[in-house]
Structure 1
Amino acid sequence: MSATDSLRTAPARPSHDAGIGRRPLVTRTTPRVLSIAGTDPTGGAGVQADLKSIAANGGYGMAVVTALVAQNTRGVRSVHTPPVGFLREQLDAVADDVVIDAVKIGMLGDARIIEAVAAWLRETVTGPVVLDPVMVATSGDRLLRQDAEAAMRELLPLVDLVTPNLPELAVLADEPVAERWADALAQARRVSERAGVIVLVKGGHLSGVVDCPDALVDAGGGLGAGRSLVEFDGPRVATTNTHGTGCSLSSAMATLVARTGSWSEALGAAKSWLTASLEAADALEVGAGSGPINHFATVWESAGLGARRADGAALVAGWWDDIAELRARIDRLPFVATLADGTLDPARFAWYLQQDAIYLRAYSRVLARASALAPTPEEQVFWATGAAGSIEAEMELHRTWLEASAAAGEEMEPSATTTAYLDHLHAASVDGDYGRVIAAVLPCYWIYQDLGERLVQASHAAHPFAAWLDTYADPAFAIATARAIEIVAGAAERADATGRRAMRRAFLASAAHEEAFFAEPIR
C-alpha cells in the first residue's frame, strides 16, 4: 500500500487521523525511525531485522542496543546487557541530533531497562511508539522475570501500539492464552481499555485457522470513523523460516504509520509486505534452524534481482493441500453420498442440474475472458475450447435432464448460492488479471475431476445417474484438468508476490463456492 501523492511531495505535516493513539501522527515521506532492541548476529531478528524492515518500508533506520545477544537460527546462547546508563547515553545521543518520527521498542530484558526507556519516552518522544513486548517465546518459554513483566504492563500507557503474540497478550491481560480468534480479540479489547493502547492481535500461531488473520483493537474507537476494530485476512504461508517475524512486523508498523498517518493503512501495507517476505524466505537459505524472512523480497523482485523464481507447481499444489478438509467435507455431503449410491431424490438432482446449467452459461463467458487475456496462442485455444465445451454441456443438460422442466414452462432462475459464485467469477475476470481469472476457474476443473474419479467407481449400467457420473471421470476431462493445472502453475510462477496472493485467494474462494454449490438445499 503506497503513500498518497501528497505524502511523496509534501513536507512533514499533521495527519488528518491525529486522534489515533496517544500522540498526534505526523506523516513524512521518509520517516526517521528508531529501533530500541537487542541484537541478532545472524541478521534475522532484533535491531538488524528492524533496520532491514524500516528500509524495506521506506524509512531511515536508527538503532539503540539494549542487549548483545549471542544467537543464531537455532537459538540463543548468551546475553550481555550493557549498563543502563550507557543505554540512556545512546538514546540521548540520537535524540539530541536527529528528529525521531517514530520509535519501535523490542527486547528490553529487565525491569531497570524498561524503567529507563519509559523515563526517556516521557521526556523526549513526541511521535508514535510501537512496542513489541518480548516476553514469551513462541515455544511458550517466559523471557522476563515477574518484576519485569509488571514493569512491561506499566510501560503500555506510554506507547501507542503494542504487538504481542498470543502468549504475550495473555500475560499482558493476566489471563490464560486465547485458543480462539474471538477470544483473542476480546482479550485485546480488555488490554486496550485498561492501558489506553491500540493492540495488534496476530493470528499466525492460532490453531485451527486456515488463513492468518490480524486485527487492530482500540477500545477508545480511534481507528478512523470511530471504529474500535479493524480486521485483515491473509494467507498462511507454508514456511519454517519465520525467525524475526514479530520484530519485523512491529518495525514495519512504526515506519508505515509515520508515512501514512493511519494505523489501519499501515497494517494493510505491513501485512502485504510481510506475506511477500515470508513467501520468499526459503530462497535465502540462511542457517540450519528457523531462518529469517526475506525483508527485501519485493524490492529485489521489482529490480529483477529475485533470489529464485517461484516454483509454480509447488505453489498450486499447496493451494490444493489448503482445501484438503474442504474436499473431505464435500465427500461427506448428503448430495454426494446419495448421488453415489443412487438414492438421491430426483427432484434434488434436477434442481442441482438447473443451477449447473445457469452456472455453465456464465462460466463459459469467464473462460472466454481467460482466452482473451492468455499470453500465448496455445493457452488462448485451451480456454476457448473450454468455453465452447461449457456451452455444449449446458445445451446437453437442456436436451436430456432438463427437458421435463422446460416442457412444464418452469423458468430457471439462479439461486443465491449460484449468484454468489458467479459474482465471484465475474469480479475475478473484470480487472484484466489473467492469473487471477484462471486461478478462479481452476476449482471447477480440479474438484470435479477429483470427485469424479471416486464417484465413477459406483457407476453401473442400471445406476440412475450413471451418465452424469461417467462424464467427470472421462479421460479427456482428466487431461484437460491436468493442462489447466499446468497453465495456472505457469502463471503463478511468472506472477509477482502480490499476483500470487491474488491467485491463491481467488482459488480458495472458488473452492468454497463449489462446496456451497453441492451443499445447497432444494428451493
Structure 2
Amino acid sequence: MSSTSVLPPETEAAPSRAAASAKAGTRRDVPRVLSIAGSDPSGGAGIQADLKSIAAHGGYGMAAITALTVQNTQGVRAVHVPPATFLAQQLDAISDDITIDAVKIGMLGDAEVIAAVRSWLEKVRPGVVVLDPVMAATSGDRLLKESAEAALRGLLPLADLITPNLAELAMLLDEPQAHAWPDALEQGRRLAAATGATVLVKGGHLDGGACPDALVNTAGVLSQEVVVLPGDRIPTRNSHGTGCSLSSAMATVQARLGDWEASLRTVKPWLAGALQASDQLEVGAGNGPIHHFHHLQPSLPAGKFAEILRAEAGPDLAAIFGLDFIRSLAAGSLDEKQFAYYLAQDAIYLNGYSRVLARASAMAPTETEQLFWARSAQQCLEVESELHRSWLSTRTVEPCLGPVTKSYVDHLLAASASGSYAVLVAAVLPCFWLYAEVGSTLHGEFLTAGAPADHPYAAWLRTYADEDFAAATRRAMATADEAGRRGSENERAAMVLAFRQSCRFEVDFFDAPRLHA
C-alpha cells in the first residue's frame, strides 16, 4: 500500500513535526516532562512507570491521567476512562502554569480522549513529543477500539518520535505484522515517510536471542535514514511496562541532549540493565516490572574503580616492559624496520581511534566530557600522527593493515556500538594510560642513563612523556573512574572486560613488529 494511505485524509496535510524538531528549545539539565497516559495501580506500567523513568533520567515528571485501570502483574481486570473534558482541564491547568519541555503520550482510551490531546498539542506545541501508540498488548490483543484507531493515526504527524511495538507498527500501516528484522525496518520506513516523524522500530517481539532497536527517519533528521543499535535479549519474565518506560525515558533524555541517536544510546543500555535487575524487586506473581533505579546503587568511593582498573592492567603492563621491542626501543638499538612497521601501524590505528574518540564525545553526558573527547580525537590527528608522518616520510614502509591493528580497532568500534558510554570509555583508556606509563618510564630511564643526544627514538619517548599527554591521561582515568563507580555491577563488569581486552591488544600491538619481521 502507498505510504500516504496510513493517515486519514483530513490529517495527511498536517504539518510535519520532524521539520519543526529544531525548534525544540533550550536543552535543560532537569527537563520538565509531562506524561499523558493511563494509570497502573501496581506501579509497573503507565503513568507510574513513566514517572519513575523520567526521574531515573533526571527529569521532573508530571502526569495527566487518561484512564484508570484495575490491574496487577497478572493482568487487567477493568478500565475506566474519565470524561475527555476532565483530561482537557488537566492539560490546560498544567500548561497554563508550567513550561513543558517534553511530552510522552501513552494509553488514550477512546476517540474523544485522543481528540482532546490532539487539540491541546496543536495549541501548546511542546518542544519534544513522543507518542507510544498503545494499541496492542505483548500478546497481540487489541487495546484500542477500531473506531479510535483512525483518531490515533491523526496524532502521528504531531509527534517527533513514534515508538510502536511490532504489532502496533503493523496496525498503524494496516499491514500484517513483520516477523523478520528487515521487514520491520521497511515498515518503519513507510511509517516515517507517511508521518514525517522519527520511528523507533523495536526488536523486542522478534524471535531469537538478538534484540536490536532502530531509529528511522526519511526526512534527513538523523545521520542516516536508519540507525540500528544491536542488543541481546535479556532473559527475564519481568517486562511489564517496558514500552512505557522506554518512551518516557526517550522523551526525557531528548529534552536534555537534543539528539535522538544519543538519546537512544543512553536509554537502551539503561533499559537492558533495568530488565537484568528486575528480579531484585520481587513484585507480583506474574509479569513483574523492570527496575527503573537499578543504576542508582551505592557508588564506589572516588578513585576506587580506577584502582580496580590499575590492578587489572598490572600483568599486561609488566608484559609490555618485558618485550624485546620495548627494551630495544629504550636502548636505542631497535631495528629501524621494526620501528617503521610499528609507526605505520600506529598511524593506521590512530585514524580509527580518533573516530572512536569522536563517538565518545557524541555519547558523553556532559559538555565538559564532550569537549575532552573531541580535543583528544583532534590530538590524534594533529600531534601524534604528525610524529608518524614526519618520521615515515623519509623511509619506505609498506602501507598494510596488520592483523593486530585490525582486531584492536574492531574491538574499539564494537565498544562504541555497544550503546554504553561507560564501556566505551573503559575500552579507549589503555591507549592513554598504558602509553603514558610506558612513555614516562622509558623517558625517565632515557634521562637517568645519560642516553646520547642522537638517540634515534628520542622524539617518540618525549611525545608520550609530555605533561599535556600525562594530564589528558589523568583526565581519561578520572572519567572512567566516575563512570565505573556510579555504574551498576553489570556495567562495571562490562567495563572491566572491555578494558582488559584493550590492555591485551596493547601488548600484542607492541609485539607485532617482532612477529612481522
Normalising by structure 2, what TM-score?
0.59
Question: For the Cα contact (< 8 Å) 1:23–1:126, is it kept in 2?
Answer: no
**CA distance, structure 1, for counterparts of residue 34 and residue 309 of structure 2:** 50
- Secondary structure at the counterpart of residue 48 of structure 2: helix
Asked if the contact 1:21–1:198 (Cα under 8 Å) also holds between the matched residues in 2, the reply is no
SS at match of 2:142: coil
List per-residue Cα deviations over 1:211-258 (Å, max 9, x = no partner).
32111111111124xx32222122322211111010001001111111
* In the alignment, structure 1 residue 39 sits paired with structure 2 residue 39: yes
Amino acid at match of 1:63: A
Q: Give the corresponding residue for 2:274.
A: 277
- Is 1:254 the counterpart of 2:236 in the alignment? no
Q: Distance in 2 between matches of 1:30 and 1:190?
A: 34
Give the aligned partner of residue 490 of structure 2.
497
* 2:76 aligned counterpart, secondary structure: strand
| Residue 82 of structure 1: how far off its partner (Å) | 0.8
Give secondary structure in 2 for the equivalent of 1:109: coil
The separation in 2 between residues aligned to 1:171 and 1:301, in whole angstroms, is 43
* Cα distance in structure 2, aligned partners of 1:79 and 1:417: 61
Contact kept in structure 2, 1:66 and 1:107, CA below 8 Å: yes
Q: Check if 1:229 corresponds to 2:226.
A: yes
Residue-pair matches, total:
350
Evaluate the alpha carbon distance shift between residue 182 and residue 92 of structure 1 in structure 2; reply closer, same or farther with a 3 A threshold.
same
Task: Report the alpha carbon displacement of residue 384 of structure 1 after superposing the two structures with TM.
Answer: 8.3
Paired amino acid for 1:115: A
Unpaired runs of 5+ residues, structure 1, are 1-16, 305-370, 389-413, 438-490, 510-523
CA contact (8 A) 2:21 2:127 kept: no
**Alignment-derived partner of residue 328 in structure 1:** none
Shift of residue 286 of structure 1?
0.8
Q: Give, in angstroms, the shift of residue 26 of structure 1.
A: 3.1
**Superposition deviation, residue 302 in structure 1:** 3.3
Distance 1:300 1:161 in 2: 30
Q: Report how far residue 71 of structure 1 moved.
A: 0.6
Write the distance in 2 (CA, Å) between the matches of 1:127 and 1:283.
36
1:49 aligns with 2:46: no
- For structure 2, list consecutive stretches of 5 or more residues without a partner in the other structure: 1-16, 302-307, 323-399, 416-422, 431-483, 503-517
Shift of 1:23: 4.8
Q: 1:504 to 1:241 in 2, by over 3 A?
A: farther
Deviation at 1:21, TM superposition (A): 3.4
Hey, what's the Cα distance between the residues in 1 that align with 2:20 and 2:264? 14
Structure 1: which amino acid aligns with 2:219? Answer: G
Q: Per-residue deviation at 1:43?
A: 0.8
The equivalent of 1:181 in structure 2 is 181
Compared CA separation, residues 495 and 101, structure 1 to 2 (3 A): closer
In 2, Cα distance between the equivalents of 1:132 and 1:279?
23
In the TM superposition, what is the alpha-carbon distance from 1:283 to its structure 2 partner? Answer: 0.8
Match of 1:112 in 2: 112
Task: Answer whether contact 2:18 2:196 (CA < 8 A) is retained.
Answer: no
Alpha-carbon shift at residue 101 of structure 1 (Å): 0.8
Q: Contact 2:295–2:488 at 8 Å: present in 1 too?
A: no
**What's the counterpart of residue 157 of structure 2?**
157
**Aligned residue in 2 for 1:394:** none
Q: Name the SS of the counterpart of 2:29 in structure 1.
A: coil
Query: 8 Å contact 1:18–1:25 — kept in the other structure?
Result: no
- 1:289 pairs with 2:282: no
Q: CA offsets, 1:136-193, max 9 Å, x none? A: 1110101111111111111101111110001101111111111111111111111111
Indicate the percent of aligned positions where both proteins have the same amino acid.
53
* Aligned residue identity for 2:291: N
Deviation at 1:110, TM superposition (A): 1.1
2-structure distance, mates of 1:32, 1:87: 19
Aligned CA distance change for structure 1 residues 495 and 157 (closer, same or farther; 3 Å) = closer
Distance 1:87 1:166, change over 3 A: same
Q: Please tell me whether residue 219 in structure 1 is matched to residue 212 in structure 2.
A: no
For the Cα contact (< 8 Å) 1:169–1:188, is it kept in 2? yes
Contact map agreement 2:19 2:196 (CA 8 A) in 1: no
RMSD: 4.1
Residues 119 and 283 from structure 1, CA distance in 2 versus in 1: closer, same or farther, beyond 3 angstroms? same
Q: How does 1:113-128 map to 2 (within 5 A)?
A: 113-128=113-128
**Aligned counterparts of 1:185 and 1:428: Cα–Cα separation in 2:** 22
1:431-450 maps to which residues of 2 (within 5 A)? 433=426
Q: Distance in 2 between matches of 1:200 and 1:426?
A: 26
Deviation at 1:497, TM superposition (A): 3.3
C-alpha distance in 2 between matches for 1:123 and 1:431: 42
Deviations 1:62-119 (A, max 9, x none): 0000011111111101011111111111111111111111100000011111111111
- SS of the aligned residue for 1:216 comes to strand
Q: Flag the 1:196–1:23 CA change in 2: closer, same or farther, 3 A.
A: farther
Separation in 2, partners of 1:156, 1:247: 17
Are the structure 2 counterparts of residues 504 and 212 from structure 1 closer, same or farther at C-alpha, using a change threshold of 3 Å? farther
In 2, the alpha carbon distance for the partners of 1:213 and 1:103 equals 25
Counterpart position of 1:144: 144
Q: Distance in 2 between matches of 1:273 and 1:180?
A: 25
Contact kept? 1:35, 1:64, Cα under 8 Å: yes
CA distance 1:51–1:425, change in 2 (3 Å): closer
Q: Deviations over 1:318-370 (max 9, x none)?
A: xxxxxxxxxxxxxxxxxxxxxxxxxxxxxxxxxxxxxxxxxxxxxxxxxxxxx
Change in 2 beyond 3 A, CA 1:109/1:504: farther
- Determine the structure 2 residue equivalent to 1:88: 88
